[in-house]
Amino acid sequence: MTKQLHLYLIALGGLALALTIVFIGSAGDATAAPSLVTNGNFDTNAASWTAAANSSITWISTEDGDLNPASGAGTVARSSGGAGDGIASQCIDITASGAGNYQVAASYKQTPGGSGTQTASVDVTVYTDNACSVGAAPHPSGTLSANSGWLSYSGTINFVTTELSMKIDLVVHAVAQGDGVYFDKIALSNGALDTPTPTNTPSPTNTATPTNTPTVTNTPSATDTPTATNTPSPTDTPPATNTPRPPRTPTHTPIPTNTPPATNTSIPAPTDT
């Protein structure tokens, strides 16, 4: 009973923790604003992104900023022309969202192969028209050192009422032709982003195990005393067969047949002289 109560309390504690996490997440989402970037997560393709000259933008299914096997990432590479920048861009009309402080975020990772020394940047340029062509004002991220693990970038850009569009450039600064960088989770929002900053999923906090609740050790059952094996009763020795006695030899010496008395021999009478 004690053991069952212990497990029940642990289960209730886990449920309470899970509910707390859900409520915290819900509260955060309530104040977050959606991203204005189209296909910023590269879930199934690289649509809505345009490659510049000597550049390429492709989709890869085996990489993802959230380590989500159901999603993917965009690969920006320097496809020709030797060393230089490879760029993929997207223009966003911000007329409806208006002026304000915009949050920009991205995840990036160096592709294998190539020089291994390429770097990255996430550059934002704002324009006074809604087609990313007039009155450019750049807001570069600066050089971002990429490596073999996913990293994140975030920044803040102030848009004024005369600025109506912005362009996001995903850039690989290639040292050699073929150098590339994976990009994922590209987001832009007029307010807090509802896309979390990509980081490795943290290990869950260990729930403290209640102390002083000894686990009931099962008392081993007494070993059954083996039932004594019945010693088989000895087989009755059959009675000895009576050996017939030999005929008794008569012990009496037979009485000899009486010998008839000898006939008296006549003694002659003495003669008188």
As a whole number of angstroms, the distance between CA 49 and CA 68 comes to 21
Ranges 80-84, 155-159, 217-221: which has the least confidence: 217-221
Which pLDDT value is given to residue 100?
A: 93
As a whole number of angstroms, the distance between CA 139 and CA 66 comes to 26
Predicted confidence (pLDDT) at residue 98 exceeds the cutoff of 80: yes
As a whole number of angstroms, the distance between CA 182 and CA 172 comes to 9
Q: Are 54 and 24 in contact (CB under 8 A)?
A: no
Task: Report residue 201 as tokens.
Answer: 């999923």
Residue 74, strand partner residues: 59, 183
Closest to 182 measured CA to CA, from 118, 120, 109, 117: 109
Rg (CA), the chain: 57
What sign results for the dihedral spanned by CA atoms 170, 175, 176, 180? negative
Which pLDDT value is given to residue 121?
A: 98
Return contacts of 208-213, CB within 8 angstroms, 24+ apart.
209/10, 210/6, 210/9, 210/10, 213/2, 213/6
As a whole number of angstroms, the distance between CA 250 and CA 155 comes to 144
Write out pLDDT tens, residues 21-37.
333 333 344 456 899 99
Which pLDDT value is given to residue 186?
A: 98
Q: How far apart are the first and last CA of the chain?
A: 157
Q: Give the pTM.
A: 0.62
Helices (H), the chain: 2-31
Q: Provide the pLDDT confidence category of residue 193 given band limits of 50, 70 and 90.
A: confident
Write out pLDDT tens, residues 129-178.
999 999 999 999 999 999 999 999 999 999 999 999 999 999 999 999 99
Residue 110, strand partner residues: 181
Predicted confidence (pLDDT) at residue 41 exceeds the cutoff of 70: yes
The average confidence (pLDDT) of the chain is: 77
Which pLDDT value is given to residue 247?
A: 56
Query: For residue 152, how many C-alpha atoms fall within 13 Å in the half-sphere facing its CB?
Result: 15
Q: Provide the pLDDT confidence category of residue 201 given band limits of 50, 70 and 90.
A: very low
Which pLDDT value is given to residue 137?
A: 96
Instruction: Give every CB contact of residue 36 below 8 A, 6+ residues apart in sequence.
Output: 92, 94, 97, 188, 189, 190
Predicted confidence (pLDDT) at residue 97 exceeds the cutoff of 70: yes
Which pLDDT value is given to residue 17?
A: 40
Which pLDDT value is given to residue 53?
A: 97
